[in-house]
Amino acid sequence: MKKFNIILLTSTLVHLSLFAQTHTKIIDMHIHSYTESEFEGKEPDQDYYGNKGSKDAESHRLETFAAFEKFNIVKAMVSGNPESVENWVTKDSNQRIIRGILMYTPDDYDMDSVKFEQMVKDNKIEVFGETAPYYGGTTLSDSIWQPYLQICEKYDIPVAVHMGGGDPGGTYSWSPKARLKLGDPYTIEDVLVKYPKLRIYMMHAGGEDWPEHALRLMAYYPQLYTDLAVMLWVEPNTQRYIKEFIKNAKEAGYLNRVMFGSDQMKFPYAIEKSINFLKSLDFLTDKEKEDIFYNNAAIFLKLKE
Ligand SMILES: [Zn+2]
């Protein structure tokens, strides 16, 4: 009888946790989209664990959409080339997608500030990011980025900025101007000073390189948020850093500005892996996990229920 009760209890618990799992709402602040022509090359085709990415851009979109469905991801900040983002939006029947734009240099996609402002007015850019000046050899504080940031402040468009390094070896191949020092969160300090009303979040906190600088910057500038992104899944070493970062952010009292993001790149399976990793952190309460998965981003994005 006792044994039976235990089995019953266990199955009830499993049932309850499955129930909770399907009902936790998630906002993913860091999703990547691609066009077919850019899908190969640029980023590695295989991850650290030897897993291959999706076979093409359309399978990648379908697999990512399936993860949105499966894990109750109700909003996703999608960054990519504007053509791929628009393609995703037309296929998104649930209004999940928040339109981002991936930019390494201010003239990607032949962009200039006039075109940019028009896209903002037309609702084609809802978040300015992922901006990744690191890969193009600049920082967001450089003069070339300022016209865009002024527009973002004027229209209250949130900015997302890549912090920390990139894929090892990238400097020898597709991003020759990338330097680790360009990923230091302190490089955006001038932006925070110049545009105090700008909504802005760091992507990947400070990476493996600068977690302390990321925290210190969040302490000094209370408007600054961060996502967790690729750190949640890409290597055991990044997981070690981000676990420590989250623990420190909790102890310091800044956890309410930490947001979930998966940064799946070509590997949609990483969405599930990131969610599971965050759920497994036993020093976080259920409420803190819910805040990171949804509430903090909802506040940052000014989402209306
Ligand atoms: Zn990214």
> What is the torsion angle, in degrees rounded to the nearest 10, for the CA atoms of residue 72, residue 222, residue 303 and residue 96?
-40
Q: For residue 86, report the distance from its CA to the centre of ligand 1, in Å.
A: 18
The token pair that represents 37 in the structure block = 């022509």
Q: For residue 144, report the distance from its CA to the centre of ligand 1, in Å.
A: 21
Query: pLDDT tens for residues 81-103?
Result: 999 999 999 999 999 999 999 99
Answer positive or negative: Cα dihedral of 271, 277, 280, 285: negative
The mean per-residue pLDDT over the stretch 68-93 comes to 97
Q: For residue 138, report the distance from its CA to the centre of ligand 1, in Å.
A: 17
Query: pLDDT tens for residues 278-290?
Result: 999 999 999 999 9
26 bridge partner residues: 73
Which of 85, 87, 108, 83 minimizes the C-alpha distance to 98? 85
**Ligand 1 being an ion, which residues bring their Cβ within 5 A of it?**
130, 263
Q: For residue 135, report the distance from its CA to the centre of ligand 1, in Å.
A: 11
pLDDT on residue 45: 81
Q: For residue 302, report the distance from its CA to the centre of ligand 1, in Å.
A: 22
Encode 259-276: b = buried (16+ Cβ within 10 Å), e = exposed: bbbbbbbbbbbbbebbbe
The mean per-residue pLDDT over the stretch 198-209 comes to 96
pLDDT on residue 167: 83
Does 14 score more than 80 pLDDT?
A: no
The mean per-residue pLDDT over the stretch 191-206 comes to 97
**Residue 3 binned pLDDT confidence (cut-offs 50, 70, 90):** very low
Q: For residue 182, report the distance from its CA to the centre of ligand 1, in Å.
A: 16
The mean per-residue pLDDT over the stretch 67-78 comes to 98
Residue 47 one-letter amino acid: D
Q: For residue 197, report the distance from its CA to the centre of ligand 1, in Å.
A: 24
Q: For residue 163, report the distance from its CA to the centre of ligand 1, in Å.
A: 10
Q: For residue 128, report the distance from its CA to the centre of ligand 1, in Å.
A: 13
pLDDT on residue 20: 47
Answer positive or negative: Cα dihedral of 224, 225, 231, 237: positive
pLDDT on residue 55: 94
pLDDT on residue 40: 84
Q: For residue 168, report the distance from its CA to the centre of ligand 1, in Å.
A: 15
pLDDT on residue 6: 46
Q: For residue 10, report the distance from its CA to the centre of ligand 1, in Å.
A: 39
Q: For residue 27, report the distance from its CA to the centre of ligand 1, in Å.
A: 15
Q: For residue 235, report the distance from its CA to the centre of ligand 1, in Å.
A: 15
SS3 100: coil
DSSP 117-169: HHHHHTTS-SSEEEE-HHHHT--TTSGGGHHHHHHHHHHT--EEEE-S--STT
pLDDT on residue 42: 65
Going through 143-223 in order, the beta strands assigned E by DSSP cover 159-162, 200-203
Does 76 score more than 80 pLDDT?
A: yes
Residues 120 and 169: their CA atoms lie apart, in Å, by: 35
Does 9 score more than 70 pLDDT?
A: no
pLDDT on residue 11: 47
Q: For residue 31, report the distance from its CA to the centre of ligand 1, in Å.
A: 7
Mean pLDDT for the chain overall:
92
Cα-atom radius of gyration of the chain, to the nearest Å?
19
What domains does the chain contain, in order, with CATH numbers?
Answer: 25-301 (3.20.20.140)
pLDDT above 70 covers what percent of the chain? 92
Query: pLDDT tens for residues 150-186?
Result: 999 999 999 999 999 998 888 999 899 999 999 999 9
